[in-house]
Amino acid sequence: MHGVDATVARDALDVRALREDFPILRRVVDGKPLIYLDNAATSQKPRAVIDALVRYYEEYNANIHRGVHTLGQQATDAYEQVREKVARFIHAPDPAGVVFTRNTTEAINIVASAWGRRYIREGDEILVSEMEHHSNLVPWQLLARDVGARIRAIPVTAEGTLDLSSVETLLSPRTRLVAVVHVSNVLGTINPVRRLADLAHRQGALILVDGAQSVPHLPVDVQEVGCDFIAFSSHKMLGPTGVGVLYASPSLLEQMDVYQGGGSMIRQVTLDHSTWAPVPTRFEAGTPSIADAIALGAAIDYLGGLGMANVRAHEIDLTRYALGALGSIPEVRLYGPADPLARGGVISFNFADVHPHDVGTVLDSEGIAIRAGHHCCQPLMRRLGAAATVRASFYVYNTHKEVDALVRALARVKELFGVGVRCALP
Ligand code: PMP
């Protein structure tokens, strides 16, 4: 899957060496070394990314696309080079299809607003799934509310995969868009986006892929995926907050309405009329997050240096190890596919009937950062019959030892809460 040999051993990455690149990993929390297992929320940043931010501000801070001066030119060149880097990273044929946004959420909102309001009409349908993050659900709800369209959802099976058997009946000539997550931020499930793209296209619909949890962790080739739109965030892939990406072919971007009006996105302005700049700048009104985009380039270089196939192999190995270790604890109820090859490095679970926030608090006192809650996936939580889950999520710097520490800390949860084994573990 994704060009990765499933048998690749645990040393796909030199984790001990690369941990030295992440200053924050030297932190101590509550007297214990930090164990950061909240990477699905946001990743940590290597020194190269932090340095790129500092270098921009210290050496060539200037606004882009306008200045005739040296600094403005250097900033513009650096910003535009990252557009090319992003395109290469996702194997996009044309950097002019790379729109810098604030994050995944804004990228999806741009599509809902600038594409959706132009092409989705009353009675049309938007097909999402039950495992969508709110950011790939609420923008469609707002659109559907305003134009009179209808949202339909691909159900999630008991194994935590999409019920593909239902897709053909859910797709209809009224379907204009399929909007699905590539890798679930709760279940870790890797969805068959190529298959969904083919099914969508056969019905004349477009497909948007929420790549927030896939682009940082798997080799993603947008041409192989066959998606019309893909959205992802820099901050989950070792880059800074404040910048994300929407990718679509330039011809599709051309067919869209504009999103926000203002500086940079125009060609000519009179008092009562404006014409638009070429894509993708047409979608980048105002001053963008210049420093953050430039530092995203440093993050892409860093990931490229590791090799995305190695990143993926490392996460398969950690996920396999963690699923084995957590699965042997009777109080742990795991969610999502059992096969580590079918999922990314995200593991959600519950510990008997201890509230996930209590589990999180005990783990924090052991220096372990995980996330507890609904993970912005309330419909999925309803489907799982859980109000919340504990979520551990891995990245390049995580180790087997850290998984062992998580398992030990769960024993501490058991001691503190004196829990018995819940009988109804499915
Ligand atoms: N989709 C998925 C699958 C996510 O995991 C997230 C972040 N948790 C988002 C969308 C939203 O990302 P952002 O907050 O960076 O816009």
Q: What is the mean pLDDT of residues 348-357?
A: 97
- Percent of the chain past pLDDT 70, that is, above it, reads 96
CA distance 23 to 276: 43
> Is 189 near ligand 1, meaning CB less than 6 Å away?
no
Which residue CA neighbors atom 8 of ligand 1 most closely?
Answer: 41
Distances (CA, A) of 82 to 12, 294, 298, 311: 27, 6, 9, 21
Supply the pLDDT for residue 43: 98
Query: How far, in Å, from the CA of 60 to the mean position of ligand 1?
Result: 31
pLDDT at 30: 86
Distance CA 21, CA 49 (A): 10
Which domains are delineated in the chain? 15-33+307-417 (3.90.1150.10), 49-304 (3.40.640.10)
* Ligand 1 contacts CB of residue 225 (under 6 A): no
pLDDT at 67: 75
| pLDDT at residue 416 greater than cutoff 70 | yes
Indicate the burial class of 315 (C-beta count within 10 angstroms; 0-12, 13-18, 19 or more): buried
Beta bridge partners of 274: 269
Residue 102 CA: nearest ligand 1 atom is: 16
Q: Residue 132: CB within 6 Å of ligand 1?
A: no
The pLDDT tens digits of the residues spanning 323-344 come to 999 999 999 999 999 999 999 9
- Please report which confidence band the pLDDT of residue 426 belongs to, taking 50, 70 and 90 as the band edges: very low
Helix ranges (H only) for 148-248 are 167-170, 193-202, 222-225
107 CB less than 6 Å from ligand 1? Answer: no
Task: Kindly tell me the sign of the dihedral angle through the C-alpha atoms of 243, 117, 115, 184.
Answer: positive
* Higher-scoring residue by pLDDT: 2, 283: 283
The pLDDT tens digits for 94-114 are: 999 999 999 999 999 999 999
pLDDT at residue 57 above 80?
yes
Question: Rounded distance, CA 330 to CA 102, Å?
Answer: 42
pLDDT at 4 over 60: no
C-alpha distances in Å from residue 302, one per residue of 101, 184, 221, 242: 21, 24, 18, 19
Of the candidates 131, 225, 119, the one whose C-alpha atom is nearest the C-alpha of residue 183 is 131
Provide mean pLDDT across the span 26-52: 97
Kindly report the number of other CB atoms within 10 A of residue 57's CB atom. 10
Ligand 1 atom 7: residue of nearest CA: 41
Expressed in angstroms and rounded, the spacing between residue 81 Cα and the centre of ligand 1 is: 25
Give 420's pLDDT tier (boundaries 50, 70, 90): low
Considering 227, 376, 377, 423, which one is annotated as catalytic? 376
User: Which residue do the tokens 């372990």 mark?
Assistant: 368
pLDDT exceeds cutoff 50 at 39: yes
Q: How far is the CA of 341 from the centre of ligand 1 (A)?
A: 22
Q: Is the CB of 210 under 6 A from ligand 1?
A: yes
pLDDT at 10 over 70: no
185 lines ligand 1 (CB under 6 A): yes
Residue 239's closest CA among 394, 46, 4? 46
- Ligand 1 pocket check for 231: Cβ under 6 Å: no
Tens-digit pLDDT profile for residues 135-175 = 999 999 999 999 999 999 999 999 999 999 999 999 999 99
Cβ neighbours of residue 137 closer than 8 Å, sequence gap 6 or more: 128, 151, 379
Q: How many angstroms separate the alpha carbon of residue 40 from the centre of ligand 1?
A: 8
Query: Does the beta carbon of 233 sit less than 6 angstroms from any atom of ligand 1?
Result: yes
Residue 11 binned pLDDT confidence (cut-offs 50, 70, 90): low
Q: What is the pLDDT of residues 189-234, one digit of tens each?
A: 999 999 999 999 999 999 999 999 999 999 999 999 999 999 999 9
265-278 residue pLDDT tens:
999 999 999 999 99
What is the pLDDT, as a whole number, of residue 421?
Answer: 47
pTM summary value: 0.96
Does the pLDDT value for residue 372 go beyond 60? yes
- Catalytic residue check, 377: no
Report, as an integer, the average pLDDT of 129-138. Answer: 98
Q: Which of 108-112, 118-122, 163-167, 418-422 has the lowest mean pLDDT?
A: 418-422
Alpha helix ranges (H) inside 100-171: 104-110, 117-119, 138-147, 167-170
pLDDT of residue 172: 96
CA of 212 to the centre of ligand 1 (A): 5
pLDDT tens, position by position, 306-316: 999 999 999 99
Question: E strands along 96-237, which residues?
Answer: 98-101, 125-129, 150-154, 175-181, 206-210, 229-233
Average pLDDT of the segment spanning 234-254: 98
Residue of 43, 237, 376 to test ligand 1 pocket, by largest number of atoms within 8 Å of CB = 376
| Structure-token pair, residue 376 | 């912005």
Confidence band, pLDDT 50/70/90 cuts, at residue 3: very low
Say if residue 237's pLDDT is above 50.
yes
* Mean of pLDDT over the chain: 95
Report whether pLDDT(7) > 50: no
